Amino acid sequence: MEYKDYYQILGVSRQADEKEIKRVYRQLALKYHPDKNPGSEEKFKEINEAYQVLGDPEKRARYDRLGSSYRAWERTGGPGGFDWSQWVGGRPGGAQVDMDDLLGGGFSDFFNSVFGIGGPRPRRARDLEQPIAISLAEAYRGTTRTYQRNGRRLQVEIPAGTRNGTRIRLAGAGEGDPGRTGDLYLKVQVLDEPGVKRRGDNLHQEFQVDLYTAVLGGEVELHTFQGPVLLRVPPGSQPGQTFRLRGRGMPKLENPGQRGDLFAKLQVVLPAELTDDERALFEQLAELRKRKS
């Protein structure tokens, strides 16, 4: 059986902490996702397998002990090959929380042997699916949820840019007994946000200006998920006119460093009541328009 160096696969040091391992894994998983990079299925599976071990404290501790023994054997060059007998058939570690979109499946013989899947494989318990609702603002920024499953507290990270129907996998949190549990899949529903609509990675919203700003031009404070933005309204802007704010839309799920656009549609609010002076001025304006035409 061939030893697999999971640290080398992820490109992290053996002293890397959990946060760094997770960050590097997500970058590599996005880079080599088969939907984005056809032909990278094997690399994608290898990256996922490495994270399943290094991202789980129990599996990582066992793997580090195995690695120390294996490197000591390499240094001595002992006869007869490495003794795997004390390492095969270990008990699987705890549940991992991963986006279903970023999972490859199909583990190597090395993984199966060391982490308890060697020999006759027990019947896998049933997977479960559960809906989870988040707001559009939470989908924009990313959020977390906490679940109690099978006696354990699991914190689920919902990434920025999550769409309706995105499934998040909690490995080992489904039905069954310890060691042969199924998985729990959380199916995300992104709730509507008042005044804002999502279309793909773009956002659409309306904003209001008074008649005078529409005619004469001016600046309007537009409230977005990134905070307030000053929008310049040119003189003579028309009701229904749409302004495009590049990069102010939703983060892209596959590449959070990129964002869609925000399309802001202008609505003109007309004065409901006029003073006598205002009416007189509007009448003068109407007369000037008649003469001009």
Q: Are 60 and 15 in contact (CB under 8 A)?
A: no
Beta carbons within 8 Å of 43's beta carbon, 6+ residues apart: 32
pLDDT score recorded for residue 89: 54
Give pLDDT, residue 291: 83
Q: How far apart are CA 234 and CA 111, in angstroms?
A: 63
- pLDDT at position 21, please? 92
Q: What is the pLDDT of residue 100?
A: 37
Q: Position of tokens 């109690």?
A: 148
Q: What is the pLDDT of residue 104?
A: 39
Q: How far are the Cα atoms of 55, 66, 166 from residue 17, in angstroms, in the given order? A: 9, 19, 28
The counts of H helices and E strands in the chain are 8, 14
Mean pLDDT of the chain: 82
Give the residue, 150 or 225, on which the prediction is more confident. Answer: 225
pLDDT over 80 (residue 79): no
Considering only 7-16, 36-45, 69-78, 213-222, which range has the smallest mean pLDDT? 69-78
- Domains by residue range for the chain, with CATH: 1-93+107-119 (1.10.287.110), 122-191 (2.60.260.20), 196-273 (2.60.260.20)
Tokens of residue 261, six digits: 């656009």
Confidence of residue 139 (pLDDT cuts 50, 70, 90): very high
Q: How far apart are CA 215 and CA 241, in angstroms?
A: 13
Global pTM reads 0.55
pLDDT bin (cut points 50, 70, 90) of residue 90 is very low
pLDDT the model gives residue 91 = 42
Rounded to an integer, what distance in angstroms lies between the CA atom of residue 11 and that of residue 71?
18
What is residue 180's predicted lDDT score, i.e. its pLDDT? Answer: 64
- CA–CA gap between residue 267 and residue 253 (Å, rounded): 31
